[in-house]
Amino acid sequence: MEKINIDKLISEMTLEEKASLCSAADAWHTKRIDRLNLPSAMVSDGPHGLRKEDDSPAHFGLLDSIEAICFPTASALACSFDRELIENVGNALGKECQSEDISVLLGPGINMKRSPLCGRNFEYFSEDPYLAGEMGAAFVNGVQKNDIGTSLKHFAANNQEWRRMSISAEIDERTLNEIYLTAFEKVVKQAQPWTIMCSYNQINGEYSCENKMLLTDTLRDKWGFKGLVMTDWGAMNDRVKALKAGLDLEMPSSHGETDKLIVKAVNNGSLDMETLDTAVRRILTLVDKSLISKDKHSGFKYDMEWHHEIAKETAENCAVLLKNNGALPLSKNQKIAFIGEFADKPRIQGGGSSHINCHKIDSALNSAKQFADVTYAKGYNTDNDITDETLLNEAVNAAKNADIAVIFAGLPDAFENEGFDRKHIDMPKCQNELIEEICKVQKNVVVVLHNGSSITMPWLDKVNAVLEMYLAGEASGAAAVNLLFGVANPSGKLAESFPLRIEDTPAYLNFPGNRDKVNYNEGIFIGYRYYDKKKMDILFPFGYGLSYTKFRYDNMKINGKSASENNFSFKDNDNVTVSVDITNIGEVEGAEIVQLYIENHIDEDNRPVKELRNFAKVKLVPGETKTVTFTLGFRAWAYYNETIHDWYAPSGDYKILIGASSRDIKEAKKVSVLSTVTIPFVVNKAATCEDVERFAKNKAPLDDMLMKCVKAQHKEDSEKTLEEELKDLKCGFGGVPIHSTLSFTPDELKYEDIQQTIKAINESEK
């Protein structure tokens, strides 16, 4: 099919037709213009499967969606720390979109896990912006290699469900850029998603859909985004203001009402035609890509069984072994009891817009039949939190008569879902009681978890092993069994910290806020950044995960030189290579996730103790050694500086850390970095004498002013020289604002002296 002649179409459109394109035709389609032979494009919910609804425009999420493959949710996928794996999942989903004539898959979601209470955390990757950005970019690249678009969401600061459509996230500039925008920036620069979906909420009092700083100044001008920006469903507030801010497409249909507002604004001169044409051009570009894709891949059909197998292998690579005192892997010769309703009916996904009508669901109970003759007891009901004594007793008896009890537990839909936040981070009481009672009669207890976010584990010390599956998709049961019996080796690591209790979490006092606002007072300190800074005990740290084998780390090198050498110095914009040897010293094949963190040793601005800056997953057979190599650039050392409104890496000492988790560092080396960026120092009302001494290029004007004071007070019989007395005075005045020095100096110092000093210092900074 020939490309659309976009310039010709725009020139032929009426004002009303242009305005009409700026909102959808229904829940899932852009508008068509029959007069100009312009078709529509279709979008569909994702991101871990297709939720394609009936094509009837009268329906909006009311009917069952088509049958599709449910892959592991983002909370599970991120634990793989595997860019290639995530890209393969995206590739599979892109092919499914081709088969169903879908132009844009609505995902991935890369909002930060500010609090474990967010009800939609199962759809988000991580508490760490670097990891979320890398996972998101891999996913987008995987989907879009099939000529299918993605919609990166929710831009930005969508970190809770309570009042998500109206609440204002109050965030300072540094926190917004350093934590809540970084993942979006990485995906835009590394993958260029076709579209971005703005969030419902306000940011500092302005709705995301009409936030020019967000949609134009940052997204397009600073990051170079080329695609289309659409609203989340129903996120439009002021249509004309949103268009001016850079919001192109309103979803879903507005029944023509907001189109009229656009026409009116152009006619009365409050909206220029150029702004409207820019939005129309982006929408037409999307439709053009859609037409080309449909023509190129016409008639394509995918193999559902093959994709189901991909989902299973993905789930195996995402699961995290949290504890193992020898109970795992299971043996076929053991008498095994599977306990818990999730063994028979696993919770594989969250509810809401991402809920998939699965092709089929593998239960652990059925999948285990190929390995052993397991007994089963339901143990609890998932539809309530009340212990059923009959079910409990049956489960205890089953466990008592077995060699080992495997309890399938976790969070039911009523505990976490789109649309509401969690009230606590505990599992249902009936499940916790079940585990406690079984531990009284059985010493070999394994717990398999199905949950979308972190939970507490009051029984952790009493069980032998814990396998975290998260919400692992339609093949999670088969994947869990393969992991339990050692057919697959657990290799995932936690993409979020597991706190001991909700009161320990960084946003506890400020989540979810009041009716109008939620204050992000914890700033940049979320997740492990917070726990490490406060040196807090936690249940499981970020990046943690065990294996059925063991690994050795050694021979760390920087730029090809042994880390035992000294004087590793380089500029902040140099590319630095870091390598380390990883050896499988166990008896089975396995994969290790190697993590690189940067530790800050500079006493300037409040920075985290360490931050993830790279990672790699390496597969090794017993006895095998592989060298893992990382490349670090400017952003490895940098933080967002509000003075220059950009990233800045101060000169000084840092430490490169190589570890198996954020709290299991295997290799470390201090390095020196020289900044190539100069932060201009400005004497403002708060600037102190100490600030001038530390940051000003030219300190002479302040020295001259203070020397005038020294000379006025100097006594001829003094044992100290003028220079020594000046040093003492500067020490005493360290924390005194320059404008206040007048109150503590002799009459010889005048107001004009202070003003001239301030002016001279500021002039030298230009």
As annotated, the active-site residues are 232
Task: Give long-range contacts, CB 8 A cutoff, 24+ apart: 503-508.
Answer: 504/531, 504/536, 504/538, 505/115, 505/116, 505/117, 505/530, 506/114, 506/115, 506/530, 507/114, 507/115, 508/115
Q: Which residue, among 239, 179, 172, 169, has the nearest Cα to 206 in the 3D structure? A: 169
| Contact assessment for residue 121 and residue 159, using Cβ atoms and an 8 Å cutoff | no
Determine whether 517 is exposed, middle or buried from the number of CB atoms within 10 Å of its CB (0-12, 13-18, 19+). Answer: middle
Residue 380, amino acid: Y
CB count within 10 Å of CB 766 equals: 7
Radius of gyration of the chain (CA): 30
Q: Which residue, among 209, 118, 120, 201, has the nearest Cα to 167 in the 3D structure? A: 201
| Contact assessment for residue 637 and residue 534, using Cβ atoms and an 8 Å cutoff | no
Task: Please spell the DSSP secondary structure of 491-525, one letter per residue.
Answer: ----SS-B-SSGGGSTTGGGSS--SSEEE-TTTT-
Distance CA 151, CA 128 (A): 20
Q: Which residue, among 134, 91, 97, 104, has the nearest Cα to 229 in the 3D structure? A: 104
Residue with tokens 């909370």: 75
Distance CA 10, CA 205 (A): 35
User: Strand, helix or coil at 452?
Assistant: coil
Q: Is 397 left (phi over 0), alpha (psi -120 to 50) or beta?
A: alpha
CB count within 10 Å of CB 306 equals: 12
Q: Which residues have C-beta within 8 Å of that of residue 208, sequence separation ≥ 6?
A: 154, 155, 156, 157, 198, 199, 200, 201, 202, 214, 215, 235
User: Strand, helix or coil at 275?
Assistant: helix
> Which two structure tokens, joined as six digits, stand for 132?
């979320």
Q: Which residues have C-beta within 8 Å of that of residue 351, sequence separation ≥ 6?
A: 413, 417, 418
Distance CA 248, CA 283 (A): 7
Q: Which residue, among 475, 470, 400, has the nearest Cα to 439 in the 3D structure? A: 400
Residues composing the chain: 766
Q: How far is CA 234 from CA 46, 161, 200, 201, 258, in A?
A: 17, 15, 8, 11, 12
